[in-house]
Structure 1
Amino acid sequence: MKAIVQTRYGSPDTCTLQDVDDPEPAPGEVKVRIRAASLNARDWHLMRGDPYLARLAPGFGLRAPALRIRGSDFAGVVEAVGRDVTSLRTGDEVYGLRDGALAEYVCAPERLVARKPANLTFEQAAAMPMAAMTALQGLQGRVRPGQRVLVNGASGGVGTFAVQLAHAWGAEVTGVCSTRNVELVRSLGADHVVDYTRDDALAAGERYDVLFDLVANRSLRDLRRALTPTGTLVLSGGGVFEGGSVLGPIGLLLRSTLVAPFVGQQIVSLSTSPGAEHLDVLRGLAEDGTITPAIDRTYPLPAAPDALRYLETEHARAKVVVTI
């Protein structure tokens, strides 16, 4: 099969289209013929091995990526099922998460795959798993009707879903983005949109019940000052490639962990727990119109390095999708 393979850390030029062996499903796995895959910030972090401290984490490696095939979100058709698979069968249209999604086939555990939303294309469905799941787990149970919610990074993959979910749950939503994305964020349900090239949302004196930070470009002090005394700060990665870093967004997460026990505000360093049950919830939200994936650009598989380049330079808005 064809796949985007990387054998050393570096720029998108280190990711090349190669022929590799087709995977075969192990017990509890399904083999999916991928029709579309989407990119996340995690993909460029893995590609660059950045921040350097992350090279100690699963999927990374000290000198080269432990996972050679890039990509993790996919949508496609089940081609084969391994022993003990009970919820899916050959021919099912599915979506899910599994490293190695920038390829013609992937084998994924049954627990990370679910039937795709019936009203979405493969491209739209592939745009959902990691980003929509992060938004769901970041905000669910923390947002109530009438609350004021700020989404910093509202035009990114996670941000576009976060704005829609907070709006659907009755919050007054403020989205922070750049000039060219103002109308996109407003169309997703934001009541207020702050263009960060002109105004500083955190210095305006407003106070929010929930602040979902997806950029990691502000200090913990700045973020906390924008919260009510009992507000909730949810931190989820962020950062862009700036030539290499030791800690990157991990620094903000570490500081928040140290401070959290000593303040009245709730500070959450989000760690998602992906599963088919969450994909089932997202399918329902997509099918009833609560959330709709926003796609910036699509690329064919051979042009996946260009898609990664577009993603990591912060020019991307919403989701970038690779068709296969």
Structure 2
Amino acid sequence: MATPKLQKAILQPDVQSTDVTLITNHPVPTAKPSSTEHLIRVHTTAITNGELLWEKNFPIPAEFSATKVMVPCNDVAGTVLSAPESSPFQPGTEVYARSNYYRTGCAREYSILLTEEMAKRPQRLTWAESATVPMSAETAWQALFVQAGLEPKPGSAKGKRIFITAASGSVGTWLVQLSKWIGAEVIGTCGSSSVEWVKSLKADTVLDYTKTNVKEWASVEDNKVDLAIDCFGGKSLEDAWWVVKDGATLISIYQPPEQKKPAGVKGNITNFFFIMESKGDQLQKITELIDSGFGKIALDSSFPLDHFQEAFAKVKSGKAKGKVVIDLGVV
């Protein structure tokens, strides 16, 4: 079946507003010759909380904004339609990825992905589940195995204690599970309604931040940890400072930890903020783990394309338990 010239796409017409609309005359992109670009038929794409505010708050460089169309959603699962001859992802391959935010997003029927950001999607998962994985799992992988320097090998962190804020969130879910996979003792924080979920991920200790004073909890020396990873910023990040022992490491995926360092914290604590990068080779390792039976997937709900407004509203409500996915209706 021939690829059409025009397609349906969700568009954010004004970056100063979080309103989105559905258009039917968005051009189908063409993969550039002599590049690593692939044309993908999008099956599902996942919404990232807050992404409709990114361009307003963090404008992308002019050289990228000139070619980017404000189509949201960068977590995607789909089928390759065209590929470079040398690509390991030839037409018909089922793939998933976190596409670069500097490019037009994937809330459209056809999109472009690069060799270096793709992996074969897990066959154990549905299309909707697949779209929830890339950004969340890659962020967790990089926090543990790149930024913290731990070894991605079962049992490699035995004897280590890892503290994770917002452990019930999309990234936190993967941090808990990967930390347990490498043998660490895991302490996770979450709200009351998520305690059972985090327990189901095999966290050793779950702290309900609405009922536990984390600073007081951390005043017991045996509760201190070797590594803390913050996924939420603000008060959660401030609390994390009290938990790390002298000589330990504090990482945030939300904001630079020094911005929330409370007065009175002592000791030599390595701390930094990082932003994940799309790395297909890391995502492929995650695929292999998932297909071996590893991991619970945090999928809240899936909406057909025509119900996109409900999908974005669910994310905005703050009541989603996991990722919200848009299904492009490929049969």
Q: What is the TM-score normalised by the length of structure 1?
A: 0.84
Match of 1:18 among 20, 23, 39: 23
Q: Give CA-to-partner distance per residue, 1:119-149, whole Å, 9 cap, x none.
A: 1111111111111000010112347212211
- Secondary structure of 1:154's aligned partner: coil
Out of 125, 132, 135, the residue aligned to residue 137 of structure 2 is 132
Structure 1 position 177, deviation (Å): 1.0
Conserved? CA contact 2:75–2:97, under 8 Å = yes
**Match of 2:242?**
225
Q: 2:81 maps to what in 1?
A: 79
User: Where do residues 182-221 of structure 1 align in structure 2 (5 Å cutoff)?
Assistant: 182-205=195-218, 206-218=223-235
Q: Which ranges in structure 1 are unaligned for 5 or more consecutive residues?
A: 238-248
Per the TM alignment, residue 221 of structure 1 is displaced from its structure 2 partner at its CA by 5.4
Q: Percent identity?
A: 28
Alignment-derived partner of residue 4 in structure 2 = none
Q: Indicate if the aligned counterparts of 2:13 and 2:21 stay in contact, CA closer than 8 A.
A: no
DSSP-derived class of the 1:320 partner = strand
| Of 26, 37, 40, the match for 2:45 | 37
> CA RMSD of the aligned region, Å?
2.8
- Between the aligned partners of 1:23 and 1:202, the Cα distance in structure 2 is 52
Does residue 176 of structure 2 align to residue 163 of structure 1?
yes
Deviation at 1:172, TM superposition (A): 1.3
Residue aligned with 1:4, SS: strand
Distance 1:313 1:96, change over 3 A: same
1:229-265 residue CA offsets vs partner (Å, 9 max, x unmatched): 011111002xxxxxxxxxxx4xx456489xxxx9622
Q: Is the 8 A contact 1:29 1:85 kept in 2?
A: no
Counterpart for residue 282 of structure 1: 286
| Correspondence for 1:246 | none
Contact kept? 1:156, 1:316, Cα under 8 Å: no
- 1:55 is paired with a residue whose SS is coil
Instruction: Tell me, yes or no, if structure 1 residue 111 matches structure 2 residue 139.
Output: no
Q: Distance in 2 between matches of 1:142 and 1:125?
A: 26
> Is contact 2:230–2:237 with CA below 8 Å preserved after alignment?
no
Residue from 297, 306, 311 that aligns with 1:307 = 311
Query: Are 1:147 and 1:172, in contact at CA under 8 Å, matched by a contact in 2?
Result: yes
- Does 16-25 or 213-222 show the bigger shift? 213-222
Aligned partner of 1:106: which letter?
S
Aligned to 2:252: 235
Q: 1:23 to 1:30 in 2, by over 3 A?
A: same
Structure 1 residue 114: Cα displacement? 1.6
Match of 1:69 among 68, 71, 84: 71
Q: 2:95: which partner in 1?
A: 94
Q: Which residue of 2 aligns with 1:241?
A: none
Separation in 1, partners of 2:201, 2:116: 30
Letter in 2 for 1:71: C
Q: 1:255 to 1:178 in 2, by over 3 A?
A: closer
1:267-315 C-alpha deviation (Å, 9 max, x unpaired): 1312322221111111111112232322112122222233223223422
2:306 & 2:63 partners in 1: Cα distance? 23
Q: 2:185 aligns with which of 172, 185, 199?
A: 172
Q: TM-score, normalised by structure 2?
A: 0.82
Amino acid corresponding to residue 191 of structure 1 in structure 2: D
Q: Partner letter of residue 173 of structure 2?
A: T
Q: In structure 2, what is the Cα distance between the partners aligned to 1:202 and 1:211?
A: 14
Q: Deviations over 1:36-83 (max 9, x none)?
A: 111223524327x2xx3x23568997xx995410000111111122x4
The SS at the match of 1:35 is: strand
Number of corresponding residues: 300
Q: Which amino acid aligns with 1:127?
A: T
Between stretches 134-143 and 151-160, larger displacement belongs to 134-143
Structure label with greater radius of gyration: 2
- Provide closer, same or farther for how the CA distance between residues 55 and 117 of structure 1 changes in structure 2, counting only shifts above 3 A: same
2:17 aligned with 1:4: no
What SS does structure 2 have at the residue aligned with 1:38?
strand
Aligned to 2:3: none
Determine if contact 1:8/1:65 at 8 Å carries over to the other structure. no
